[in-house]
Chains A and B, each alone.
Chain A
């Protein structure tokens, strides 16, 4: 066992059992999976994705790019860093060979999102962040403090309890201040514009199976701040050398954190390879905990304080040396040393843990995402934020503490308070910096040696595939890969990142980004400052899609709209189709004599026959409906539609078409005049919102002088067309007070009448060519009126029909569907509907475009009918229409395409509609449709194939 008997922030009185790779282990509350594994002597955790190399734990936090695991219980979750999983009872995990496996069942956990606004958002609850938050809180500001760890303290958590009393006091004060919100286990992962920060809070992950069902497992915080203070700390970076990926090779600060926070001595014979003074404290503390420690430092001028400390605790120091490689398989067993920088005098030293420090990378991700500028600091070997954002946004984004390159603890404490005072000043609040707690003398007083890799032969000739000098462990990307990128001519770090994939996985450049840039700069002989670094992009740490989706899953991912009559359709076996967000009955299949269900063609044949020879009814409630009111409503509609609306009298209905400014058809529908100052328009089902927006735009921007108001009433009305030669009898039965005769109630008029005691608006309009009455009632009564009509229609064999029958009926009559038979390049004239375009009106939207030369061309595509020569062949919608059946000569001249195609009982076979070049001049010609690799001969006809003289509409 490597767990110490005392020390750390773990609760030894409670034992948590867990399993890893099928073996049982024990840990304690406060552990991460990584610390618990190390406490059990497990170093090998995973296997690399491409090279299959054993991989261990390299870090103690979110920068881990090696120890990737899959959680199996309580619910499978792939690709997690062992260092970010808090241990819980019953945890089951296994190491991954680079790739995880998604769960084979839906995640039962709940995820949600919440908005919060604040004056000051502080990201990071280390020394700088706590000082900033406390200063802002005492000034009375609304403060949100987020931190990824379960407890505040940041880097202090890796120390021997330094300032632990102070952090506890600060936390207590913050949490008891009413306007302050402290969010633990919360990672700010993206900075967006104007102080908008997204953060992921892991609320119940650490509870495992004990997580309550009623609490969201993870929550996305959408934080909007007036001022943002980034106290995000720094990530230690390694130095690259051969076989630097072995289990047991770890960042120095991680080794210290495992010791102090988790009470785990991760090795007994420890070699610390450092280029800077910050790792010496780790070395000393580990030696004091009982390990045999050797320090290897390429520098020859050791700091006197640390030289004395090492001597005091018995640490052997090898100045002027470096690590050039390692030995071992499942765990490091030894280290190759050589003189720095010559590489001479090599030797091998045994060890079971190799700690590495190449310096620190300030965590500037969020600042960079905010388009903050970074400048290279050659002394620190790091990109530091330059104060102030370009574009002079109103939201201040400040960086403080180690994230700003501050090295000393005292500096971080003072810096946090100072940045808060500055942020508050920008908000017009005068604040005093809170007094920092007393701290000891800082012993990291000078910058280290900037070293990306131990000296390597620079060769751009291509990489050695046996290269084991890993830059991004998770991607198995090496120094050789970077050099090969340079050799391939890549000069931008952005290109190198994409070419090598370095920094594109969990790491997101935290440890690897700067090293890759550094190797590039050395290889190309250019200045690091000029080469720059890659742009950081959200997310800073991995975020699951489940968290991003939140509650917007399943039925509420996209709203499903149903009509007031929907439950009746379900009860009567309707088969549904999606039309936009609407569920519409496609058909109502009946049981056949053999006990099965009708297929679609059989149901449609039956339903169309009923509409053409008897009576049928449709739920058309999804039609868009817009109420237009105001004294200028008629004038407004005259300007919008191609035909005249203002002359329509109350009680009448008109078919109307609207076009864009370019003269292309936008939508069509009916206009019902309710009174002098009120109209109701219908729109295509899928176009309702678009048409309302279109009308609003004109009402508000082009003609604000017109007194007109627009309201969507789509949901307020249920619409039931009753269709067929027997429809008059049915309407007469349900509306006994209504004179349904053609003389009293003519085509294209509407009447108010009671149906089943409900006041209804009944329109004599037809989308089938048959005698038809469209019944409109308030939605509340939709199902009652539908049932009343259905009951009254029983003696006549009334048949409910769906959208497929509706399409067949309308297509037989050549009525186009906007968006199916048109595509935004079609004018009313192209459809053969010049009659709907007013010659009298001075102007309307689109009028001028009709006389553009392009729109007058005789070879424009026209809407025509197509009859396959073999009337059993169903044309494919979208099939190209061609003149020459010989398709061996390329290019084949395309004349147009099939827009609608159906089987028709009334026409005794298949038919279609098509847009065909000069189509009206080709009526009677034989053309061909190209589908499924065959040419299908078709005859061109006019678009109206049934009842061309319109004899049926009056019954």
Chain B
């Protein structure tokens, strides 16, 4: 059972969290002017990298707050967590946790 650090509560077991998909996908401006293809791209398409990936998580069985996390999708290691509205931290070669 992996430990994930909630930016509000600290390290808690992964079962307390729910996954919320890719982070920093901004809601488009003026959606009425968008083509169907562009809207569909926003709606259905997300990145799927191997390696560090910024994601939304929610501490569902804890403080119920959403936050962002950078997770290595190859190792599941959570490299950084940060609150909504904070910029994605720069990750050096040494992972911060």
Task: Determine whether A697 belongs to the interface, using a CB cutoff of 8 Å to chain B.
Answer: yes
Question: Complex formed: what's the CA distance from A390 to B18 in Å?
Answer: 26
Interface string of B62-76 (1 = CB under 8 A from A): 001110000000011
A700 x B66 contact (CB < 8 A): yes
CB of A578 within 8 Å of the partner chain: no
CB-defined contacts of A394 to chain B, threshold 8 Å: 97
A696–B65 Cα gap in the complex (Å)? 8
Given A194-B1, A849-B39, A700 contacting B76 (CB threshold 8 A) = no
CB distance from A860 to the nearest CB of B (A): 16
Are A696 and B64 in contact (CB-based, < 8 A)?
yes
- Contact, CB under 8 Å: A848 / B32: yes
In chain B, positions 30-71 with a C-beta closer than 8 Å to chain A are: 31-32, 34, 36, 39-40, 43, 56, 58, 60, 64-66
B20 and A702 contacting across the interface, CB-CB below 8 Å: no
In the complex with contacts A394-B97, A696-B66, A701-B66, A849-B43 CB distance below 8 A? yes
Query: A704 on the interface (CB 8 Å rule)?
Result: yes
- Interface status of A661 (Cβ within 8 A of chain B): yes
Tell me, in angstroms, the Cα distance from A862 to B21 when the chains sit together. Answer: 32
Q: Is A192 a contact of B1 with CB atoms below 8 Å?
A: yes
Report whether A847 and B31 are in contact in the complex, using a CB–CB cutoff of 8 Å.
yes
- Chain A hits for B40, CB < 8 A: 852
Nearest-CB residue, chain B, relative to A395: B3
CA distance A196 to B95 in the complex (A): 21
Give the docked Cα–Cα distance between A381 and B36 (Å): 63
Q: Is A948 an interface residue (CB 8 A)?
A: no
Minimum distance in angstroms from A890 CB to a CB of chain B: 33
Q: Do A193 and B3 form a contact, CB below 8 Å, given A700-B65, A701-B56?
A: yes
Tell me, yes or no, whether B77 is within 8 Å of chain A by CB.
yes
On chain B, which size bracket covers the interface? 20 to 34
Chain B 1-21 interface residues, beta-carbon cutoff 8 Å to A: 1-3, 13-14, 18, 20
Q: Mark A172-209, 1 if CB is under 8 A from B, else 0.
A: 00000000000000000000111010000000000000
Q: B2, B18, B64, B85: which contacts A194 (Cβ < 8 A)?
A: B2
Q: Shortest distance in angstroms between B46's beta carbon and chain A's nearest beta carbon? A: 13
User: Which of A662, A701, A702 contacts B43, CB < 8 Å?
Assistant: A662
Q: Would A852 and B36 be within 8 Å (CB), given that A697-B66, A847-B31 are in contact? A: yes
Q: For the complex formed, measure the closest distance between the CB of A195 and the CB atoms of chain B, giving whole angstroms.
A: 8
Query: Please, which residue of chain B has its CB at the minimum distance from the CB of A115?
Result: B13
B39: chain A residues within 8 A (beta carbon): 848-849, 852
- A196/B1 contact (C-beta < 8 A), A700-B65, A848-B31 known: yes
Closest to B75 in A: A391
Q: Is the CB of B60 within 8 A of A193?
A: no
Closest Cβ–Cβ distance, residue B82 to chain A (whole Å): 13
How far, in angstroms, from A838 to B1 measured CA to CA in the complex? 46
CB proximity of B63 to chain A, nearest CB, Å? 11
**Cα separation A390 to B74 with both chains bound (whole Å):** 11
- Chain B residues within 8 Å of A842, by CB: 32
Contacts A696-B66, A701-B56, A704-B85; A661 near B43 (Cβ below 8 A): yes
Q: Of residues 852 to 895 in A, which have CB atoms within 8 Å of B's CB atoms?
A: 852-853
Q: Which residues of B contact A193 (CB under 8 A)?
A: 1-3, 14, 76
Chain A residues within an 8 Å CB radius of B77? 391-393
* B39, B65, B95 interface centre (most CB from chain A within 10 Å): B39
Q: What's the nearest-Cβ distance from chain B to residue A665, in Å?
A: 16
> Are B84 and A697 interface neighbours, CB within 8 A?
no
Chain A residues lying within 8 Å of B66, measured Cβ to Cβ, are 696-697, 700-701
> Which parts of A575-604 form the interface with B (CB within 8 Å)?
none
- Interchain CA distance A696-B77 in the complex, whole Å: 26
Say whether A759 faces chain B, with CB atoms less than 8 Å apart: no
Is A925 on the interface with B (CB-CB < 8 A)?
A: no
Contacts A193-B2, A193-B3, A661-B43 given; indicate if A701 touches B84 (C-beta within 8 A): yes
Which B residues are CB-close (under 8 A) to A847? 31
| Chain B residues whose C-beta falls within 8 Å of the C-beta of A224 in the assembled complex | 3
B20:A194 contact, CB within 8 angstroms: no
A845 — nearest CB in chain B belongs to which residue?
B27
**Which of chain B's residues have a CB closer than 8 A to the CB of A704?**
84-85
- Are B36 and A853 in contact, with the CB atoms below 8 A? yes
Could you say which residues of chain B place their CB within 8 Å of the CB of A852?
36, 39-40
- A697 to B3 Cα, complex, angstroms: 22
Cβ of A843 < 8 Å from any Cβ of B? yes
In angstroms, Cα B2 to Cα A758, docked, is 49
**CB-based nearest A residue for B28:** A848
Q: Is A21 an interface residue (CB 8 A)?
A: no
In the bound assembly, the distance between CA atoms of A696 and B57 in angstroms comes to 12
Determine the residue in chain B with the shortest Cβ distance to A700.
B66
Contacting B60 at CB < 8 Å: which of A390, A661, A693, A700? A693
Most B-side CB within 10 Å, residue of A390, A697, A842, A848: A848
Q: In the bound complex, how far is the Cα of B64 from the Cα of A693, in angstroms?
A: 9
Complex CA–CA separation, A696 to B32 (angstroms): 25
Q: How far is the CA of A843 from the CA of B76 in the complex (A)?
A: 37
A692 closest partner in B (C-beta):
B64
A661 to B34, CA, bound (A): 14
A689-700 vs B, CB cutoff 8 Å, 1 = contact: the mask equals 000010011001
Residues from chain A with Cβ under 8 Å of B20 in the complex: 697, 701
| Chain B residues positioned under 8 Å from A702 (CB to CB) | 27
Q: Which of A371-395 contact B (CB under 8 A)?
A: 390-394
Whether B56 contacts A843 by the Cβ 8 Å rule is no
Nearest CB in chain A to that of B58: its residue: A697
- B40 to A: closest C-beta gap in Å: 7
Residues of chain B within 8 A (CB-CB) of A392 are: 77, 95
Give A661 to B58 CA distance when docked, in angstroms: 19
Residues of chain A contacted by B76 (CB below 8 angstroms): 193
Query: What CA separation (Å) do A394 and B36 show in the bound complex?
Result: 46
Question: Nearest residue in B to A705 (C-beta to C-beta)?
Answer: B85
CB–CB B58/A848 < 8 A: no
Q: Tell me, rounded to whole Å, the shortest Cβ–Cβ distance linking A513 to chain B.
A: 26
Q: Which of B1, B31, B64, B84 is the one whose CB lies under 8 Å from A843?
A: B31
- In the complex, A662→B40 CA distance in Å? 9
Q: Mark out the residues of chain A between 659 and 673 whose CB falls within 8 Å of any chain B CB in the assembled complex.
A: 661-662
Contacts of B65 in A (CB 8 A): 700
Q: Which of B34, B56, B85 lies in contact with A848, CB distance below 8 A?
A: B34
Specify which of A662, A701, A702, A842 lies most central, judged by the most chain B CB atoms within 10 Å of its CB.
Answer: A701
User: Which of A's residues lie within 8 Å of B, judged by CB?
Assistant: 192-194, 196, 224, 390-394, 661-662, 693, 696-697, 700-702, 704, 842-843, 847-849, 852-853
Point out residues on B near A: beta carbons under 8 Å. Answer: 1-3, 13-14, 18, 20, 27, 31-32, 34, 36, 39-40, 43, 56, 58, 60, 64-66, 75-77, 84-85, 95, 97
Q: Beyond A700-B65, A842-B32, list 7 extra A-B contacts (CB 8 Å).
A: A194-B2, A697-B66, A701-B56, A702-B27, A704-B84, A843-B31, A853-B36
A-B contacts, 22 listed (Cβ < 8 Å): A192-B1, A192-B2, A193-B2, A194-B1, A194-B2, A196-B1, A196-B3, A390-B75, A393-B77, A662-B43, A696-B58, A697-B66, A700-B66, A701-B20, A701-B56, A701-B66, A843-B32, A848-B31, A848-B32, A848-B34, A849-B43, A852-B36
Closest 9 CB pairs of A and B: A193-B2, A848-B31, A391-B75, A700-B66, A194-B3, A196-B1, A192-B1, A701-B66, A852-B36
